[in-house]
Amino acid sequence: MRKIILFLFLLIFLTTTTTHTSATDNKEQNENLQSIIIEVDGEPRKHKEYIETYHPFIKVVAVYEKIFNGLALQGSPGNLERMESLEFIKSIHSVQQYKAIDWPKPASNITPDEEKSQPYDLNTTEYTGKNVKVAVIDTGIDYEHPDLQKNYKLGYDLVDLDDDPMETIQEQGIPTSHGTHVAGIIAADGEIKGVAPDAEIYAYRALGPGGAGTSVQVLAAMEKAIEDGVDVINLSLGNTVNVPDYPTSLAVNRASELGITVVIANGNSGPGDWTVGSPATADKSLSVGASMAPKKVPFLYESLEGKAIQLIEMAGSIPWDITKAYPIVDARTQNETMSGKIVLLRRGEVPFYELAKQAEQNGAVAAIISNSEEGAFQGSLAQVQDPINIPVAAISKEDGEWIEARVKKESLYLDTEYFSQEITAAPFSSRGPVTINWNIKPDVLAPGTEILSTVPEGYEQMNGTSMAAPHIAGVVALLKEAHPDWTRDQIIGAIKTTADLLKEPEKLEPTIQGMGMVRPEQAIETPTIIYNPQLNFGKVDAYREELQFDLKIENMSDETQNYTFDIPKKQNGIYWDLPQSFTIDAKEKKTIPIELEVTTARMDEGVHQGWLTLNKDDEDYQLPYIFVNQQADQPKSAGFEFSLKGFSEDEFQYNIYITEPARRVEVDLYNPETLLFDRKLLEAEDLEAGLHEGVLSKKEAGQSGYYLAIVTVYLEDGTYESNQSILYLE
């Protein structure tokens, strides 16, 4: 899969330019037409009439009224610039924010065969998604693909603003295939079979060349899909902003209120906590993490010390298939040849691909890249033109330091051993919780590694939560066909209630797996629906607090059902008050209070999560819970954006999201090669939690070029936190 925001929904340039020929003499009007979408105050249709009357050279392409108020316009840059002065248009926000969430594993010239798993393998039911409309909001779709022709019904292009949602081709920019792969997972019906091969595909191209787009394009695509009457929306896209109230997250909630099931990829920024991004952070979304199929996992082993080193194979790497011990050398101190050796590299400013390519060219048989911070990480070597031909894996910082210390003293040989790993969460799959409201995300897991599906002119295997989400969209289609009278809440509740908890051997944390692995057949046949099985008790600040969560359960069967809770294991500072037993009559829905008393001083600060067990006859339901004791270690800032202001050549605008109140925020620029301080870009004081925006002139911003931007948030308690990103000033 290819790699993997503000309630202003604003005037935004889309990414393409269309060349027209006409008999008119207005050359500027007919050349370099651009498309924009604006958000307006008041009634969009009245503003449409005004623009058509007083700005005849501007074409109103579409009107949006369901999840935001706006218009899509086309015109020359000169004519569009005049729109900026209209009072009913909100402020300008010109930045490309959304990407198709990819995690590539190139596999060229693939032909489907019986040995390769397909998306349809998940479907063990008699249903095929017949007559269910599924919207794919993505990079477009190759609707001429023989496996998709039958099921493709219609679509729209929110980049070029026309009725042709074809993927980007070479002549238009960086070509794409992501949307076609996603659509095939849902409803391919040919050499490849999707999860719901009879579902109807509605395609909306919201991401243009290279898979890039804007929040407003995504919003407009959702608006169009709702207008077309779809039942399900799949969003295998996102950003890294972990907050619940970005506009796309809010729009997801509005679409859900209209009865539409919105399925969203959780992101590929794992395995760290707090890595889920908008719009998967939406309260009412069905957010999907990626599971990894059972496999043999390699690790390095030193027998004298009994030292085992976990290997996380890089996406795009050839399999780690080493059968004997090799010497280990450190690239930082290596004076001899790397030929016939495994080389230790370090994570840093140099891309993983370049590190690995240099090791390969120097004769290494394999490469390991140690982390620059605590814990494990997942990296990518994506490079179609000149792929790496040696295995490359990530290791932890601690293991890297152990190797470094050993090779300084003596020669080190490490064997490759293997252990059998059951189905588990993929290491790249983003984790929760959501900042500010502490919701557990993802909601469920679905297959997300080595997924074979359609791409323009063929087939390809891809990895990522982008591939997991359409599996769930297909499952929703199966449930819609099986239970056409079920509501959106019943469908989502059934999927969550019947998910299979993953253990390895202990239960994976709720913020890694949500409710667990999806099981379509059990969801269709479930006699019980728990509408809100993820128990969020919020943040606890007082010395002692009594909290309550109202669990909503529906008995779908024709018989009375009896339930009991297991008594939770005693934990210091936590006391549960659970009903020992209760009954729910046939076809009855009941609210069950779950009470929790927390004594903050008797337990560690931070995120606390775990599981409660609800029993019914011979079944049990695992209910994840979460609460935050006083404070958590979530990122204090998110989503720093800096770009030229729309229609402007001498002003930049910036946006930054603060997750808790701050005394001051500074953005400093450093040389990305020497890491020497260059200048302070901006400073703001006394900021409340939420989105903050501003404008800088080019003179204030300073010299153009690439910089390492360090964003530092100084909190009210005197502590501070910094994070970094690469910034380009045009």
CATH of the domain at 19: 3.30.70
- Does 534 share its domain with 619? yes
Query: Tokens 């590929």 — which residue?
Result: 268
User: For residue 19, what pLDDT is reported?
Assistant: 28
Angle between helices 247-257 and 215-227 (to 10 degrees): 10
User: For residue 2, what pLDDT is reported?
Assistant: 34
User: For residue 210, what pLDDT is reported?
Assistant: 87
DSSP state of 180: H
- In this structure, is residue 103 part of a structural domain? no
- Does 60 share its domain with 39? yes
Nearest to 430 by CA among 281, 554, 577, 628: 281
- Does 129 share its domain with 232? yes
CA–CA distances in Å: residue 497 to residues 109, 329, 494, 541, 591: 40, 50, 5, 31, 16
> Containing domain of residue 233, as a range?
115-293+426-513
User: For residue 95, what pLDDT is reported?
Assistant: 36
3-state secondary structure of 407: helix
- Does 283 share its domain with 301? no
- In this structure, is residue 686 part of a structural domain? yes
Angle between helices 488-497 and 465-482 (to 10 degrees): 120
- In this structure, is residue 5 part of a structural domain? no
Show the tokens assigned to 693.
């925006």
Question: Residue 342 maps to which CATH number?
Answer: 3.50.30.30
User: For residue 334, what pLDDT is reported?
Assistant: 67
- In this structure, is residue 520 part of a structural domain? no
- Does 263 share its domain with 232? yes
- Does 127 share its domain with 249? yes
- Does 486 share its domain with 553? no
- Does 615 share its domain with 645? no
Last residue of a domain, one of 586, 610, 629: 629
User: For residue 708, what pLDDT is reported?
Assistant: 81
User: For residue 102, what pLDDT is reported?
Assistant: 55
- Low-confidence stretches of the chain (pLDDT < 50) are 1-31, 91-96, 104, 106-109
Question: Residue 452 maps to which CATH number?
Answer: 3.40.50.200
Task: Determine the number of helices (DSSP H) and then strands (DSSP E) in the chain.
Answer: 13, 41
- Does 398 share its domain with 415? yes
The total number of structural domains in the chain stands at: 5
Last residue of a domain, one of 457, 490, 513: 513
- In this structure, is residue 139 part of a structural domain? yes
Q: Report whether the peptide linkage leading into residue 244 is cis, meaning its omega lies within 30 degrees of zero.
A: no
- Does 492 share its domain with 625? no
3-state secondary structure of 437: coil
3-state secondary structure of 455: strand
DSSP string, 141-177: --TTSTTTTTTEEEEEETTTTBS--PPP-GGGSS---
Q: Does residue 432 contact residue 441 with C-beta atoms inside 8 Å?
A: yes
- Helix H, strand E, coil C: the string for 533-593 is CCEEEEEECCCEEEEEEEEEEEECCCCCEEEEECCCCCECCEEEECCCEEEECCCCEEEEE
- Does 128 share its domain with 275? yes
- In this structure, is residue 4 part of a structural domain? no
3-state secondary structure of 504: coil
Last residue of a domain, one of 421, 454, 473: 421
Question: Residue 562 maps to which CATH number?
Answer: 2.60.40.10
- In this structure, is residue 521 part of a structural domain? no
- Does 137 share its domain with 279? yes
Show the tokens assigned to 453.
């599906």
- Please state the pTM of the whole predicted model: 0.79
Q: Which residues contact 607 (CB under 8 A, 6 or more apart)?
A: 273, 433, 438, 511, 626, 627, 628, 632, 633
- In this structure, is residue 6 part of a structural domain? no
Question: Residue 722 maps to which CATH number?
Answer: 2.60.40.4070
User: For residue 21, what pLDDT is reported?
Assistant: 30
